[in-house]
Each structure stands twice: as structure tokens, then as C-alpha cells.
Amino acid sequence: MGCERKPLGIALALALLLGLAHGDVVQFIFGDSLSDVGNNNYLTKSLARAALPWYGIDFGSGMPNGRFCNGRTVADIIGDKMGLPRPPAFLDPSVDETVIAKSGLNYASGGGGILNETSSLFIQRFSLYKQIELFQGTQAFMREKIGRAAADKLFGEAYYVVAMGANDFINNYLLPVYSDSWTYNGETFVKYMVTTLEAQLRLLHGLGARRVTFFGLGPMGCIPLQRLLQRSSTACQESTNKLALSFNKQAGAVIKQLAASLPNATFQFGDVYDYFQDIIDRPYVHGFNNSHAPCCTLGKVRPTLTCTPLSTLCKDRSKYVFWDEYHPTDRANELIALETLKRLNITVVANTTST
């Protein structure tokens, strides 16, 4: 049997090598619910899942697909505009070596954080360290399947996206049930996060990642849930926003330093905080009519921490900045993605708007 299977393995390896030789470039995405495309739906004990309507209503068939949005994520849109294939969820059972070689993988997990302890109340989620561990497993798998040379070429030429940090505040430091909330103050907690992130980015570089983009945080204090927690439907939590700005400043400096010091590293920091804040402050200028409430709600019952089949949807989803208590709508994600591409001087090669 082993002799009969060997030619098939060689044929597959040759096919993948030919594909790589013709310039197939893929993405590997690490992140939280803003980038999750289905991993948490396979974590059956997780309390952070986008498995019910009305998630995904404006994506493909309109059924839930694991994205915490009505449509596309920022990473979806940026990859589309760059002409890159959309990487499937790491836990998708259809993933094999052919899929990975053609599309890459997405390890993002709702509730995931830079810190391992973040979002422990959600029971199951992948922290960034765990996602990197899973990526190491992917590397070993691909080297076994297609050979070290072909696999190292795939990983060395790939794009890497890391988009994390919000949960470390919202589902850790800002909740007194977590020990980090009383172990650190704002300044020392941000330093703890950034120091951990630097070690993680160095680890990724050591694993062969050369083209890495880290997405900075948006104005977290302006998400509907944060407004509600301070008993205001319109005012943002400025103390929370200051934490995001402090993190962005320090993380941006670390990434700049890594780009200058690590061999062959093209590390970039995608920061559109001010642009997102302007969308929130002046929604009508950007084509929205609501930037403070979620589109998907359970009547006047708030907060509803997830969108459910019992929820009521706003009349026009393209006019709302936020889809649920945490996450932007497809339309807001599109504007954020386009601004990110502009600021990173990335050429748009595909003007698709399809979900």
C-alpha cells in the first residue's frame, strides 16, 4: 500500500511546488473576533461564538459563518483588495495541504488576546501565543507534506496579519474579576502588553515571518457596550480610549524598532485610530446616520452581548457604524480597510466588493 500511495504524494508535492513557483502568495492571520472567520464556532464550549443569525446576513448565503459581523472583516477586505485569497479558519475540517498552499490559514479567535489570561471567562478561545503554537504545527505539517524547501518558500513569502489587543482591555484589565485589573495600573498594564507583543512578534520572525502587519487599536471606549457601561448612549469612555492610544503609541514604536533591527523584516503598523474616531464623531460625513448604537439589538434590552435570532435589526445596515455591542458593520470595516491600505501605501489590485 505504501508503494502505491507514494506516486500520489509526489504528484501532489510537484503540483504544489509548481503553484508556489508561479507566485502563489498567501496570508496567515492572527487575531480576535474582529478577524475570526469561524474558529470559535468549532470550539463548542466557547461563550464567544458567531453561530446564530443574524451574523453573516450580508455575506454569501446570509447564514452565520463565524464572522462577528453582518458581512466582511477588515482583514477580508484588505486581502481582497490586494488580490490575495481569503484564508479559511484553522479549525475548518476541509483544510488540507492543498488549501493551505493556495490560501493560507486564519487562526483568529473571538476573545483572543495578547495575554494568555485574557477572556478566560469565555472558557475556550485561542490567545496569540496559542495561535502561534498552532502555526508552528502548520509549518511542521506542510514540511512533511510538501518538503522543507517548498514549505519554507510558502511561509517566507507569505503576508502575516496580527490584529489583537482590544480584549486585553475590555475582557481583562477593565473587568475587576480579572487579577490583572488590580495587579497593574494603566501604564504598567500597557507596558506588560507591549513587552509580551514584542516577544510574540520576534517569535513569528524566528519562524520565518518576514512581511508582518500589526493592526493598532481603534477607539475602544466608543463601542456601544463601553458607552452603556458609563450609563450614556452617546458619550465615549475617554479613559478607555486613552489606554488604546497609549498602546498604539508604544506598539508602533516597538514595531518600528523591530523592522529596523530584525533581518529581512518588513514589519508595518496599521494605525487608523483617528480616522475611525472621525467616523464616530462625524458619521454623516462618512455616509452613516448612527455611530453610537448597535444595529442588532433585542429591543430596549441592553446590553445584549451577542446578536441572536430574537434580535431586531436596524432598517439600513449600511447606515450604522456598529453591528453589535462590540463589532463594526461591513460598511464601517470597508472604510477602515481602505484607509489602512492608503496609509500603508499598499496598491489596490482588485476592486471587488463581493462578500
Residue 281 contacts by C-beta under 8 Å, 6 or more apart in sequence?
291
| Residue 327 among the catalytic residues | yes
Catalytic site residue from 33, 46, 109, 119: 33
Candidates 80, 109, 327, 330; catalytic one: 327
Residue with C-alpha cell 446578536? Answer: 307
Are 29 and 35 in contact, with CB atoms under 8 Å apart? yes
Sorted by sequence, the CB contacts under 8 Å of residue 107 that are 6+ apart come out as 28, 29, 30, 31, 39, 90, 126, 131, 134, 135
Bridge partners (DSSP) of residue 345 are: none
Asked if residue 87 lies in contact with residue 96, where contact means CB atoms within 8 angstroms, the answer is no
Q: Is residue 303 exposed (0-12), middle (13-18) or buried (19+ Cβ within 10 Å)?
A: middle
Please say whether the beta carbons of 36 and 68 come within 8 A. yes
Residues 207/135, Cβ–Cβ less than 8 Å:
yes
Cα(296)–Cα(304) distance, integer angstroms: 9
Of the residues 24, 36, 180, 324, which is catalytic? 324
Positions annotated as catalytic residues are 33, 324, 327
